[in-house]
Structure 1
Amino acid sequence: MGSNRTGWLMLAPTLLILGVFGIVPFFYVLYLSFHQWNPFAANPNMIFIGANNFRRLVFDGEFLTSLWFTLKFAFFAVVSEIIIGYMLAQMLTRDFYGKGFFRTIHTLPLIVAPIVVGSVWRLMTTPSIGIIPYYLNKWFGYQLNIGSDATAAFIITVIMDIWHWTPLVTLTLLAAIVSLPKDPFEQAQIDGANRWQIFWHITLPMIRPAILATVFIRLMDALRTVDEVWMLTGGGPGAATRFVGLHIWKIVFPKTDYGYGSAISIIVLYLTLVMCWLLYVGLVAPRVRRSKVNADA
């Protein structure tokens, strides 16, 4: 009994911080989503409008477009980061010249603030002074201008996110790989399994929890990205990189429509939870059921 009380006392500061900065703001935003509120209007009072904000966003073309671009961005960025991060993690399990230096350089983007990352990439992609447009024009004759080319702007935002967050994936998967037992791999090699069979039947199932946790983290971050893209493209050209986070920002701050912005935030949170739940059901639940069947047998 005393140990349980001590445990709750140790958790109390964390629970307090979570309640103050997480739960309370969530319920406040949920409350705002059922109101029409512009504190800078002639009538600054909240007006209860029920579910009208949620009904409005279903027919909001700008919101649906930003949601579609956000889902595309999250898919390409997260999938690329998982693949590249796994390849780099496997490379770092081997010894090669300059391994320590490469690991240090590789992890440097993680300590750079997102707004700085966006600023640096904006400088690198500016047609007149950027190093990327210069060499693309010199080597391939391609004129890169993310201010007028919507496809190029979207691709550059994905590449920027990959550059910034792949080191996190690499470190996570590297920790999972180096902790794997050697016996299953040695036995598979003795039985004549090739590299693909070893990866598919041994490595992947054993590091699946680490991959799933990494996907959850990166998916949630990708769906709410704002500062990097804001500094790089400002959401343009047009709406090519106006992701949901930027759309909410423009609704809440320039337009000061706090109620509608809160409704969009709630829907985005709900969609994020649904996607994470679907990933869990698709990747973890079948494995749990197979384990129970094998145990019963």
Structure 2
Amino acid sequence: MQSKTLGWLLLAPTLIILFFFGVVPFLYVLWVSFHQWNPFAADPGMSFNWATNYRQVVFDAQFMASLGVTAAFVFFAVVSELIVGYLLAQAFMKDFPGKAIFRTIHTLPLIMAPIIVGSIWKLMTTPSIGIIPHLLHNWFGYDLNIGQSAAAAFIVTIIMDVWHWTPLVTLTLIAALVSLPPDPFEQAQIDGANKRQIFWHITLPMIRPAILATVFIRLMDALRTVDEVLMLTGGGPGSATRYVGVHIYKEVFPRTNYGYGSAISVIVLYLTIVACWLLYVSLIAPRTSKKG
């Protein structure tokens, strides 16, 4: 009994912080989502409008379009980060000249604030002064202008996200690979298994929990991408990079539609939870049922 009491006492500070900085803000946003509220209007008071905001979301063409481009952005960004991150993790498992320096440089984007990342890529992709348009024009004869080409803007935002967050994936997978026991790999090599078979039947199943945790983190982060994209493209051209986070920002701040923006935020949170649950079920449930 005393050990349980001590455990709750030790957890109490964390639970209190989570309650005031997690639960309370969510309940407040949920409350605001059932109101029509513009604090900068002539009448700054809240007006309770039941589920009108949620009903409006269903018929919001811009929001539905933002969901589509966000889903595409999340898919390509997270998959690319997993592939590149795993390859870099395998490379860092080996010794090569300049490994420490390269590893340090590789980790630098991870410590940068998103708005700084967006500013860097804005400078690098500006047609008149950017190094990327200059190289693409000289090497391939391609004139990059993310302010005019929707496809180019979408691809550049994906590359920017991969550049920013691949170090996180790499570090997570390095930790998973280092912790693997050597016995299964040695036995597989003795039995004549090739590298592809070892990867699919030994490495991948053993690092599945780390991959799943990494995908959850990156999925949630990618769904709420705002700062970098606003700084780089502003959500344009048109609505090519108007991701869900950017759409919410533009509803809440420029249009000061706090009630409707809160309703969209609650729906996006629900969709994020559903996406993570579906991912968990698809990757973990079949494995658990086979064991049973």
Bucket of the pairwise TM-score, normalised by the shorter protein: over 0.9
How far residue 128 of structure 1 moved from its aligned partner, in angstroms, is: 0.5
Match status 1:7 vs 2:7: yes
How far residue 6 of structure 1 moved from its aligned partner, in angstroms, is: 1.7
How far residue 43 of structure 1 moved from its aligned partner, in angstroms, is: 2.3
Structure 2 counterpart of 1:84, one-letter code: V
Structure 2 counterpart of 1:230, one-letter code: L
CA RMSD across the alignment: 0.8
How far residue 42 of structure 1 moved from its aligned partner, in angstroms, is: 2.3
Partner of 2:64: 64
**Counterparts of 1:256 and 1:58, CA distance in 2:** 20
**Counterparts of 2:41 and 2:111, CA distance in 1:** 41
Match status 1:106 vs 2:112: no
How far residue 218 of structure 1 moved from its aligned partner, in angstroms, is: 0.2
43-52 vs 280-289, which moves further: 43-52
**Counterparts of 2:276 and 2:172, CA distance in 1:** 18
Partner of 1:44: 44
Partner of 1:150: 150
The 5-angstrom pairing of residues 66-85 of structure 1 reads: 66-85=66-85
How far residue 147 of structure 1 moved from its aligned partner, in angstroms, is: 0.7
How far residue 254 of structure 1 moved from its aligned partner, in angstroms, is: 1.1
Partner of 2:280: 280
**Counterparts of 2:185 and 2:138, CA distance in 1:** 47
Structure 1 counterpart of 2:166, one-letter code: T
Between the aligned residues of both structures, percent identity stands at 73
How far residue 214 of structure 1 moved from its aligned partner, in angstroms, is: 0.0
Partner of 1:162: 162
**Counterparts of 2:135 and 2:6, CA distance in 1:** 61
Partner of 1:223: 223
Structure 1 counterpart SS, 2:236: coil
Partner of 1:245: 245
How far residue 192 of structure 1 moved from its aligned partner, in angstroms, is: 1.0
Partner of 1:263: 263
Structure 2 counterpart of 1:197, one-letter code: Q
Aligned length: 292
Structure 2 counterpart SS, 1:107: helix
Partner of 1:213: 213
Structure 1 counterpart SS, 2:234: coil
Partner of 2:91: 91
**Counterparts of 1:120 and 1:250, CA distance in 2:** 22
**Counterparts of 1:291 and 1:167, CA distance in 2:** 34
Structure 1 counterpart of 2:247, one-letter code: H
Deviations, residues 114-163 of structure 1 (Å, cap 9, x unaligned): 11000000000000000000000000010001111111011000000000
Partner of 2:183: 183
Structure 2 counterpart of 1:29, one-letter code: V
**Counterparts of 1:129 and 1:118, CA distance in 2:** 16
Structure 2 counterpart of 1:138, one-letter code: N
Partner of 1:295: none
Partner of 2:121: 121
**Counterparts of 1:287 and 1:146, CA distance in 2:** 44
**Counterparts of 1:175 and 1:216, CA distance in 2:** 17
**Counterparts of 2:238 and 2:177, CA distance in 1:** 43
**Counterparts of 1:38 and 1:219, CA distance in 2:** 31
Structure 1 counterpart of 2:219, one-letter code: L
Structure 1 counterpart of 2:236, one-letter code: G
Structure 2 counterpart of 1:8, one-letter code: W
How far residue 46 of structure 1 moved from its aligned partner, in angstroms, is: 1.5
**Counterparts of 1:202 and 1:138, CA distance in 2:** 45
How far residue 290 of structure 1 moved from its aligned partner, in angstroms, is: 1.6
**Counterparts of 1:16 and 1:70, CA distance in 2:** 33
How far residue 49 of structure 1 moved from its aligned partner, in angstroms, is: 1.4
Structure 1 counterpart SS, 2:148: coil
How far residue 101 of structure 1 moved from its aligned partner, in angstroms, is: 1.2
**Counterparts of 1:281 and 1:208, CA distance in 2:** 13
Structure 1 counterpart of 2:238, one-letter code: G
TM-score, length-normalised on structure 1? 0.97
Structure 1 counterpart SS, 2:207: helix
**Counterparts of 1:105 and 1:39, CA distance in 2:** 45
**Counterparts of 2:102 and 2:226, CA distance in 1:** 29
Partner of 2:21: 21
**Counterparts of 1:171 and 1:41, CA distance in 2:** 48
5-14 vs 120-129, which moves further: 5-14
Segments of 5+ residues of structure 2 without an aligned counterpart are: none
113-122 vs 92-101, which moves further: 92-101
Structure 2 counterpart SS, 1:284: helix
Structure 2 counterpart of 1:136, one-letter code: L
**Counterparts of 2:247 and 2:177, CA distance in 1:** 39
Segments of 5+ residues of structure 1 without an aligned counterpart are: 293-297
